[in-house]
Amino acid sequence: MHRYTTLALALLLFAAPRTSCAEQLLFEKIKTDNGIQFNYVWLDAEKTRHDLSFEIPSETLEDAPLRQTNYRPKIAQRYVTVALLKEAKSINPRDAKVEIKPKREAIDIRVKGFDDEKVENVLTHLQQIQQNAYDEYLYQHYFTRFTTLFNQQAIKPDHLRYIAESVKPMVPASQAFYEKIKTHSDSRAYFSLLLSWLQSIPYDTLEDRVASNGSGFAPPLGLLMQNLGDCDSKAVLASSMVRAFLPSTKMIMVFLPNHALLGIALTPLEGDEKIEHDGQTYVLYDPTGPAQIPFGQVSEDTQRFIQTGRFQIEVVD
């Protein structure tokens, strides 16, 4: 049996005014015969002590991604170039002469021949190969395209795919929280307990989603293993666990320039912060921490971004 233990992790940085900070008292992962058992002790905003344990099976840890590869344009370019060169070899030189040259972050495709129609067909075909190869590279490495609020074309981790693929692996964790809440409690009791736990997990700052190239993002199981995550990572972990608890309830991820939070289609109470999207009302919640922000509330900075429309939404399937 192998133990990995961190005791008395008091996180007192970045506290918002009049807001309690999360406090993780114990993080422990124990290798068992069947997988890894995770044990936690933490304090919520009222300084109530909570403890929780769950086990992730070995086969789950073997199958699920634990790390996010950094996006490197040169490596992506090389991958696409190899696919183009391979395809170019299959083209009859009597139909067209093909030249493939990487150029900075682009790839120059030149096709020459005597038959203009054949040349155009070959070029169109190679451009499709280029697009398919790039899409394949992004998919293999869990990346997706996105357009920022400032109309920048960029690449980010595929948050929605990570959520979809992490629902089943996170069932043991989600079930452990469900069993902790009192019988006949509503879903807000689940969210309150889940948020206090997530906010107590040490926070890794997200400096810039575009510039980071995916570095710093931790898939759900990777976040659990390292006991550390930025706002995007915690939002994805929370979404996968909530989806296991509420399989058909509509959910959204809300992206600010350097932050991420979540929305859930529950009936809002008076004072809840919410967003309207495609005719649906979503109650907002922020799992980031270390500030312990209750379900239905957001920080003042987040509120300003929401009120001025500086956010983007992705719908969680």
Domain of 99: which CATH number?
A: 3.30.310
Q: Which of 112, 140, 168 is the last residue of a domain?
A: 140
Task: Provide the pLDDT for residue 7.
Answer: 34
Residue 188 lies in a domain: yes
Confidence of residue 4 (pLDDT cuts 50, 70, 90): very low
In a domain, 50, yes or no: no
* Residue 257 DSSP one-character state: T
Per-residue model confidence (pLDDT) at position 275: 96
Contact partners, residue 281, CB within 8 Å, separation at least 6: 265, 268, 274, 275
* CA dihedral angle for residue 134, residue 138, residue 144, residue 148, rounded to 10 degrees: -60
CATH number of 152's domain: 3.10.620
Long-range contacts of 70-78 (CB under 8 A, 24+ apart): 70/213, 70/214, 70/215, 71/141, 71/143, 71/155, 71/213, 71/214, 72/213, 73/105, 74/105, 76/134, 76/137, 76/138, 77/102, 77/105, 77/106, 77/107, 78/102
Q: Are residues 269 and 133 in the same domain?
A: no
Tokens of residue 272, six digits? 């809840």
Same domain, 115 and 171: no
Answer yes or no: are the C-beta atoms of 24 and 50 closer than 8 Å. no
Let me know whether 263 and 282 are in one domain: yes
Rounded to a whole number of angstroms, the CA Rg of the chain reads 23
In-domain check, residue 3: no
Do residues 204 and 301 share a domain? yes
Segment (H or E) for 40: strand 35-43
Same domain for 114 and 184, yes or no, is no
pLDDT score, position 151: 87
* 163-207 pLDDT, tens digit each: 999 999 999 999 999 999 988 888 999 999 999 999 999 988 766
CA distance 160 to 252: 10
Judgement on whether residues 84 and 132 belong to the same structural domain of the protein: yes
- Say if residue 179 is in the same domain as residue 136: no
| Residues 297 and 229 occupy one common structural domain | yes
In a domain, residue 64? The reply is: no
Tell whether the model's pLDDT for residue 156 goes beyond 80. Answer: yes
Does 10 fall in a domain? no
Alpha helices, DSSP H, located in 50-158:
58-63, 73-89, 116-140
**Residue 211 resides in a domain:** yes
Which residue type occupies 85?
L
Span 58-71, average pLDDT = 91
Split into its structural domains, the chain has a count of 2
Are 126 and 222 members of one domain?
A: no
Q: Domain span at residue 97?
A: 73-140
| Cα gap 241→96, rounded to integer Å | 54
The predicted structure's pLDDT at residue 224: 96
Q: 193-214 in b/e burial notation, b at 16+ Cβ within 10 A?
A: bbbbbbbbbbbbebeebeebbb
Tally of CB atoms within 10 A around 215: 13
Nearest CA-CA partner of 298 in 309, 288, 310, 308: 288
Write the CB contacts of 17 (distance below 8 Å, at least 6 apart in sequence). none
Residues 169 and 262 in one domain: yes
Last residue of a domain, one of 86, 119, 140: 140
Asked if 101 and 206 sit in the same domain, the reply is no
In this structure, is residue 46 part of a structural domain?
Answer: no
CB 109 within 8 A of CB 96: no
For the chain, what percent of residues have pLDDT higher than 90?
78
Residue 260, CB half-sphere, CA atoms under 13 Å: how many?
Answer: 27
pLDDT value at residue 206: 67
Same-domain pairing of 110 and 259: no
Residue 149's pLDDT is 86
134 assigned to some structural domain: yes
Count of C-beta atoms within a 10 Å radius of residue 64: 18
At 266, give phi and psi (nearest 5°). -110, 160
**Cis amide prior to 290 (ω within 30 degrees):** yes
Show which of 85, 109, 140 is a domain's final residue. Answer: 140
- In this prediction, residues 290-301 reach a mean pLDDT of 94
